[in-house]
């Protein structure tokens, strides 16, 4: 059925007769004009999409501003219309919502992941100003998922996965149950079409087979409700949702026959006391499964979901899950924040929604320091999924954490300094390691020591975004302070060596395009700028010329014909003594504070755990003119003339020996260690081939970091 503007207006006025219908009508006319001639992949006029979105927003009982913004949500992205145009025509409030809904389509990003991360970041920031941004965004995604069949298969997979990873969890966090379920099931339909169709057919068959059985359970409960004088309570049955069953099958690797909570009964009561009374009655009728009793009334989920859950052995041994809640809890369980939220003039911010969106305020705070797109996306996904662990402070306050959280997460949730100084923890009175995984019901006590500080190892332990962000922030601050100290030391030593007395450091920093002397010192520590380059105004003529050469050259080398650091200029290049790379080796550059870039062989043990941001790609020159010293060892028979034969082969290859050492080993074996000068890997390989032909040579190994070698 085609949605018309009158359908939307009727819906708006049905719950708010005083709504600003003129604003909605004006938005419709504007949207129709802007989208005129545009066609969706389905072949329908594009206007059908904003009309569908606006109707669903009205059905969620949001205000006229939200409905108008829904009609206009694609006008800025898909036409020449600007946010300023929207503000001029419809006012600042509508413009703020539309701006929050507009993707960052005109900016250039290095990857799809970075683009996606920035879109989410913008959406989250917009949500902090107005929650209607998120509600419209979710409905927009729902309608796009309902029409996903018209996209090509790769697009279907990408959009469905994004919906499952981000939008469905967002709907869950907002407590909008019906929306979460439909987004999950539509995503599954496109991500695993065959699995979805098979499972749906099986669940439909179970529904038909168990309908009579469940009706008899419902009638038995209704009779009991009349007996205890609660005739107005409501009872209904259902089969578990497709996505929930699918998840259980995949996670546990079990057949459908072994999923015991497919059948469910929901009971709605008037008061909380009646809910607990009903729980007792259910347990008196059928034997409960102890591990499956959950009290979300006393301890609501973070999206404010409340209900009593219990699974029992019903008639014929069937397992049945009962959900018992009040009518109000049931309404909130389905509509979530849309049930709570009431528009107030000038107060549509998150702060106006109390604890309902506390998680979002925390998310905004925790993401401030996460600039890496990949890390940001991962953190958002972690924060969006429902909390599974409930633990207690020593005072009895309840804290919620993602599954897998540790005492570090608990400490940082209390206070940043407590986290920084966390030296250990007691769980239920027993000392546990920091990597201990919290369990529901644990009483957590944090032990602190002023001398304790965060370390990089903590990043492997912490689970929550807040803890990880605080740990990284502390480490960055320490590294920054160390870099400032190191850079200043480099600068001061050079100033003393030149016998300079009055040096204007601020002026030097500005000349090198740094805002502060501190920034200049950091650059010196990382080798991004040389000390001669910085002090060039004070240098004699010859050193000054050298500094100018450094400034102009894309990269500095030890000698001509070495290696180039791709994409990074003005860096001094050194070769690692641990693994001794030569042209032809797969190599990587490591930014060393105060010493430019050190080139290592790929796989060198000394850079195995290096920070990714300190590793840079390098490229060997096409014509290597310089020689490199490398070290290798030869295991050979311990007999006269052996060493002479080996050195003769090396000399015949015109390879210069810089150092040599021989040791006798048991079993009539000798170990000879050589340091030689070669141009590249090809030359070294040719030498090894010749050496292996010497009678009595057993094994050749090229030395590298960590005591390992490459066998020849």
Is 52 among the catalytic positions? no
- What is the pLDDT at residue 26? 95
For all residues of the chain together, what is the average pLDDT? 81
3-state secondary structure of 39: strand
Tally of CA atoms within 13 A in the half-sphere of 637 that contains its CB: 10
Considering the domain architecture, whether residues 19 and 153 belong to the same structural domain is answered as: yes
Residues forming a β-bridge with 205: none
Considering the domain architecture, whether residues 214 and 309 belong to the same structural domain is answered as: yes
Mean pLDDT confidence for 346-363: 49
- What is the pLDDT at residue 704? 65
Q: Do β-strands 628-637 and 618-620 pair in parallel, antiparallel, or remain unpaired? A: unpaired
- What is the pLDDT at residue 106? 43
pLDDT above 70 for 129: no
* Catalytic entry in 7, 20, 25, 77: 77
Which of residues 117 and 198 earns the better pLDDT score?
198
Contacts of 600 (CB under 8 A, 6+ apart): 576, 578, 579, 581, 587, 588, 589, 590, 606, 607, 705
Contacts of 619 (CB under 8 A, 6+ apart): 563, 564, 566
Mean pLDDT confidence for 186-208: 91
The residue segments making up the domain with residue 167 are 5-176
First to last CA, the chain: 75
Burial of 311: CB neighbours in 10 Å, binned 0-12, 13-18, 19+ = buried
Considering the domain architecture, whether residues 219 and 166 belong to the same structural domain is answered as: no
CATH number at residue 649: 3.30.70.260
- What is the pLDDT at residue 707? 43
3-state secondary structure of 667: coil
For residue 706, name the pLDDT band (cuts at 50, 70, 90): very low
pLDDT above 90 for 215: yes
Considering the domain architecture, whether residues 127 and 246 belong to the same structural domain is answered as: no
Q: Is residue 378 part of a domain?
A: no
Vertex 175: Cα angle to 70 and 437 (nearest 5): 130
For residue 382, name the pLDDT band (cuts at 50, 70, 90): low
Write out the H or E segment, with its range, that includes residue 308: strand 308-313
Considering the domain architecture, whether residues 547 and 586 belong to the same structural domain is answered as: no
Mean pLDDT confidence for 438-444: 85
Considering the domain architecture, whether residues 100 and 157 belong to the same structural domain is answered as: yes
- What is the pLDDT at residue 345? 35
pLDDT above 70 for 369: no
- What is the pLDDT at residue 113? 62
Of 559, 557, 601, 603, whose CA–CA distance to 583 is shortest?
A: 601
pTM assigned to the model: 0.55
Torsion of CA 288, 290, 295, 299, to 10 degrees: 180
Question: Rounded CA gap, 664 and 643, in Å?
Answer: 12
Considering the domain architecture, whether residues 59 and 26 belong to the same structural domain is answered as: yes
Contacts of 436 (CB under 8 A, 6+ apart): 406, 407, 425, 427
Considering the domain architecture, whether residues 530 and 649 belong to the same structural domain is answered as: no
Q: What is the DSSP letter of 657?
A: E
CB 597 within 8 A of CB 589: yes
Contacts of 467 (CB under 8 A, 6+ apart): 408, 409, 411, 412, 413, 419
Question: Rounded CA gap, 116 and 190, in Å?
Answer: 20
Considering the domain architecture, whether residues 31 and 140 belong to the same structural domain is answered as: yes
Q: Is residue 62 part of a domain?
A: yes
> 611: how many CB neighbours lie within 10 A of its CB?
12
Residues forming a β-bridge with 709: 703
Question: Rounded CA gap, 525 and 509, in Å?
Answer: 14
| DSSP state letters, 673-686 | EEEEEESSHHHHHH
Considering the domain architecture, whether residues 653 and 587 belong to the same structural domain is answered as: no
**Domain-ending residue, one of 281, 309, 335:** 335
- What is the pLDDT at residue 629? 85
Vertex 206: Cα angle to 200 and 208 (nearest 5): 105
Query: Which residue pairs from 10-14 have beta carbons closer than 8 angstroms and sit at least 24 positions apart in sequence?
Result: 11/55, 11/58, 11/59, 12/58, 12/64, 12/67
Tokens of 276: 């607990």
172-181, 419-428, 531-540: segment of lowest average pLDDT: 531-540
131-140, 319-328, 531-540: segment of lowest average pLDDT: 531-540
pLDDT above 70 for 320: yes
3-state helix/strand/coil string of 208-254: HHHHHHHHHHHHHHHHHHHHCCCCCCEEEEEECCHHHHHHHHHHHCC
Which of residues 557 and 128 earns the better pLDDT score?
128
3-state secondary structure of 539: coil
Considering the domain architecture, whether residues 548 and 575 belong to the same structural domain is answered as: no
Mean pLDDT confidence for 501-522: 85
Q: Is residue 385 part of a domain?
A: no
Q: Tell me: the pLDDT tens digits for 620-629?
A: 766 555 778 8
Count of structural domains within the chain: 5
Q: Is residue 400 part of a domain?
A: no
Tokens of 309: 């859950």
- What is the pLDDT at residue 534? 83
Q: Is residue 183 part of a domain?
A: no
- What is the pLDDT at residue 146? 94
Q: Tell me: the pLDDT tens digits for 160-176?
A: 988 888 888 888 877 78
Question: Rounded CA gap, 587 and 578, in Å?
Answer: 13
CA distances for 346 relative to 66, 100, 272, 351, 614, angstroms: 14, 17, 35, 12, 47
CB 524 within 8 A of CB 534: yes
CA distances for 262 relative to 103, 238, 698, angstroms: 40, 9, 67
pLDDT above 60 for 326: yes
- What is the pLDDT at residue 381? 57
Tally of CA atoms within 13 A in the half-sphere of 627 that contains its CB: 13
Tally of CA atoms within 13 A in the half-sphere of 145 that contains its CB: 29
Is 78 among the catalytic positions? yes
Of 673, 677, 678, whose CA–CA distance to 702 is shortest?
A: 673
User: DSSP strand E in 539-683: where?
Assistant: 563-565, 573-575, 587-592, 596-601, 615-616, 618-620, 628-637, 656-665, 669-678
> 232: how many CB neighbours lie within 10 A of its CB?
10
**Domain-ending residue, one of 571, 595, 620:** 620
Q: Tell me: the pLDDT tens digits for 25-55?
A: 999 999 999 999 999 988 899 999 999 999 9
Q: Max alpha carbon distance in the chain (Å)?
A: 108
Q: Is residue 320 part of a domain?
A: yes
CATH number at residue 152: 1.10.3210.10
Q: Tell me: the pLDDT tens digits for 98-120?
A: 988 886 444 444 556 666 666 66
- What is the pLDDT at residue 352? 40
141-145, 341-345, 391-395, 496-500: segment of lowest average pLDDT: 341-345
CB 572 within 8 A of CB 529: no
Question: Rounded CA gap, 387 and 402, in Å?
Answer: 5
- What is the pLDDT at residue 152? 92
Q: Tell me: the pLDDT tens digits for 576-592?
A: 877 888 888 888 888 76
Q: Is residue 128 part of a domain?
A: yes
pLDDT above 60 for 476: yes
Tokens of 468: 């990880």
237-241, 325-329, 487-491: segment of lowest average pLDDT: 487-491
* Catalytic entry in 7, 20, 78, 369: 78
Q: Do β-strands 618-620 and 563-565 pair in parallel, antiparallel, or remain unpaired? A: antiparallel
Of 440, 439, 404, 444, whose CA–CA distance to 422 is shortest?
A: 444
Considering the domain architecture, whether residues 62 and 172 belong to the same structural domain is answered as: yes
- What is the pLDDT at residue 349? 41
- What is the pLDDT at residue 323? 94
Share of the chain above pLDDT 70, in %: 79
3-state secondary structure of 305: coil
**Domain-ending residue, one of 512, 527, 552:** 552
Of 610, 614, 607, whose CA–CA distance to 456 is shortest?
A: 610
191-195, 257-261, 348-352, 419-423: segment of lowest average pLDDT: 348-352
Q: Do β-strands 596-601 and 573-575 pair in parallel, antiparallel, or remain unpaired? A: parallel
Residue 157 has phi, psi (to 5 degrees) of -65, -45
Q: Is residue 687 part of a domain?
A: yes
Residue 621 has phi, psi (to 5 degrees) of -65, 150
321-335, 339-353, 594-608: segment of lowest average pLDDT: 339-353
């Amino acid at each position: 059925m085609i949605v018309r503007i009158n359908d939307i207006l009727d819906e708006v006025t049905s719950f708010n007769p005083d709504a600003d219908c003129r604003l909605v009508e004006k938005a419709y006319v504007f949207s129709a004009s802007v989208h005129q001639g545009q066609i969706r992949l389905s072949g329908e006029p594009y206007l059908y999409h904003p009309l569908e979105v606006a109707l669903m927003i009205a059905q969620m009982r949001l205000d006229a501003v939200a409905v108008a913004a829904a009609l206009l949500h694609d006008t800025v992205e898909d036409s020449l219309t600007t946010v300023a145009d929207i503000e001029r025509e419809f006012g600042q409030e509508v413009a703020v919502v539309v701006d929050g809904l507009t993707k960052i389509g005109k900016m250039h990003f290095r990857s799809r992941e970075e683009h996606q991360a920035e879109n989410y970041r913008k959406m989250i920031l917009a949500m902090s100003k107005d929650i209607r941004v998120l509600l419209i965004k979710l409905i927009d995604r729902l309608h796009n998922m309902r029409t996903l069949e018209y996209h090509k298969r790769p697009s279907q997979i990408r959009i469905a996965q994004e919906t499952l990873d981000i939008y469905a969890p967002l709907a869950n966090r907002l407590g909008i149950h019906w929306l979460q379920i439909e987004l999950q099931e539509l995503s599954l339909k496109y991500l695993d079409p065959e699995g979805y169709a098979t499972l749906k057919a099986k669940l439909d068959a179970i529904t038909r087979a168990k309908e009579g059985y469940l009706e008899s359970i419902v009638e038995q409960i209704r009779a009991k409700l009349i007996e205890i004088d609660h005739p107005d309570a409501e009872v209904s049955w259902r089969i578990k949702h497709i996505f929930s069953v699918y998840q259980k099958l995949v996670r546990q690797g079990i057949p459908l026959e072994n999923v015991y909570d497919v059948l469910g009964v929901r009971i709605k009561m008037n008061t909380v006391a009646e809910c607990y009374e009903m729980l007792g009655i259910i347990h008196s009728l059928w034997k409960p499964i102890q591990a499956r009793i959950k009290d979300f009334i006393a301890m609501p989920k973070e999206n404010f979901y409340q209900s009593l859950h219990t699974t029992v052995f019903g008639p014929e041994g069937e397992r049945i899950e009962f959900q018992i809640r009040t009518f109000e809890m049931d309404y909130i369980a389905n509509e979530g924040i849309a049930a709570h939220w009431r528009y107030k003039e000038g107060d549509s911010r998150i702060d106006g929604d109390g604890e309902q969106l506390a998680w979002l305020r925390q998310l905004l705070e925790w993401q401030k320091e996460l600039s890496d797109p990949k890390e940001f996306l991962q953190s958002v996904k972690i924060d969006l999924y429902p909390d599974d662990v409930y633990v207690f402070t020593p005072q009895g306050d309840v804290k919620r954490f993602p599954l897998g959280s540790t005492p570090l997460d608990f400490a940082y949730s209390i206070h940043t300094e407590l986290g920084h100084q966390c030296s250990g923890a007691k769980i239920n009175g027993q000392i546990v390691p920091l990597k201990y995984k919290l369990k529901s019901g644990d009483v957590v006590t944090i032990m602190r020591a002023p001398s304790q500080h965060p370390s990089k190892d903590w990043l492997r332990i912490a689970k929550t975004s807040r803890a990880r962000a605080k740990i990284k922030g502390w480490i960055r601050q320490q590294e920054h302070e160390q870099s400032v100290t190191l850079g200043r030391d480099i600068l001061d030593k050079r100033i003393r060596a030149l016998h300079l007395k009055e040096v204007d450091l601020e002026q030097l920093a500005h000349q090198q395009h740094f805002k502060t002397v501190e920034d200049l010192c950091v650059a010196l520590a990382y080798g991004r700028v040389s000390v001669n380059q910085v002090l060039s105004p004070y240098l004699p003529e010859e050193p000054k010329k050298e500094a100018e050469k450094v400034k102009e050259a894309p990269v500095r080398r030890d000698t001509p014909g070495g290696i180039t650091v791709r994409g990074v200029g003005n860096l001094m290049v050194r070769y690692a003594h641990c693994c001794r790379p030569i042209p032809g080796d797969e190599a990587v550059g490591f930014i060393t504070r105060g010493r430019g870039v050190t080139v290592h062989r790929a796989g060198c043990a000394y850079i195995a755990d290096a920070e990714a941001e300190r590793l840079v790609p390098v490229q060997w020159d096409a014509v290597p003119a310089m020689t490199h010293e490398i070290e290798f060892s030869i295991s050979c028979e311990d007999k006269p003339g052996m060493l002479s034969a080996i050195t003769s082969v090396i000399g015949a290859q015109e390879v210069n020996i810089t150092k040599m050492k021989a040791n006798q080993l048991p079993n009539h074996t000798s170990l000879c260690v050589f340091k030689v000068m070669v141009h590249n890997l090809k030359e070294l390989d040719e030498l090894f081939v010749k050496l292996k032909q010497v009678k009595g040579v057993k094994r050749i190994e090229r030395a590298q970091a960590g005591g390992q070698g490459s066998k020849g």
